[in-house]
A = this chain, B = another copy of it.
Amino acid sequence: MEKGRLEAFSDGVIAIIITIMVLELKVPLKADIASLLLLYPVFLSYILSFIYVGIYWNNHHHTVQVVESVNGTILWANMHLLFWLSLIPFVTAWMGENHFALWPVICYGIVLLMNAIAYAILIFTLIRHHGKNSLLAQAIGKDRKGNISIVIYAVAIAFSWLNSKISIGLYILVACIWFIPDKRIEKKIGIAEPPCKE
C-alpha cells in the first residue's frame, strides 16, 4: 500500500489539532490590557503545546520520508498516535485555565507520555514491516531520544505531587531535546542517496 494518503490524513489531523488549540484562547470580554494579561497561563500552555505538536509533525515528516510502503497495522498504529495527539488541546486548555494546578499538569504529562509511547509503537510497526536492515531501521537506531523522553515524562508525573512547576520544567526540557529535527534520518538519507531536487 502506498503511503500518500497516510501522510495526507496525518497532515490534516495534525494541522487541525494545532489550530483548534487557539479556540481555547477565549477572547476577553473587555478591551483593556489587564484582561488580556490574565490569559497568560492559557497562552503559555498554548505555546508549549504548539511546539509539541510541531515536534510530532516534524518527526512524523522525517520518519515517513524513509517509509517505503504501509500495511493495515501501520495505519492503525498511526491512528492510535493521532488519537493521543487529539487529546493535547483538551489537556492544554485544562492546564492553562487552572494556572498549572496539580491534576491538569499530571494529565498533561500522561497525554505526552501516551503520545511518546504511541510514537514508539508506530516506529516499531514500521521497522517490523521494513525489516531490521532497512534504511528506516538504521536511521532510527536505538531510538535513545524516544526512550529518554518516556523516562523524563514518568519522572515529571511523579514529581508533580511535590511541585507542579518541576513537571512543567521537565516537559519544556523534553521539548528542547526534540526541538532539533532528527539528524539521524537526514544523515541516513544523505548516505543512501544524493539529495535530489524536486
Contact = CB atoms under 8 A, between A and B. Distances in A.
A158 interface: no
B75 A61 contact: yes
A132 to B, nearest CB: 17
Given A31-B98, A89-B22, A186 B71 contact: yes
Contacts of A186: 1, 71-72
Q: How many copies of this chain does the complex contain?
A: 4
Nearest to A65: B1
Nearest to A105: B31
Interface string A160-188: 00000000000000000001110100100
Interface in A1-57: 1-5, 7-9, 11-20, 22-25, 27-28, 30-33, 36, 47, 50, 54, 57
Contacts of A3: 198
Counting from the closest, the 8 A-B pairs by CB-CB distance are A12-B15, A72-B181, A31-B101, A31-B98, A16-B19, A68-B197, A27-B93, A54-B79
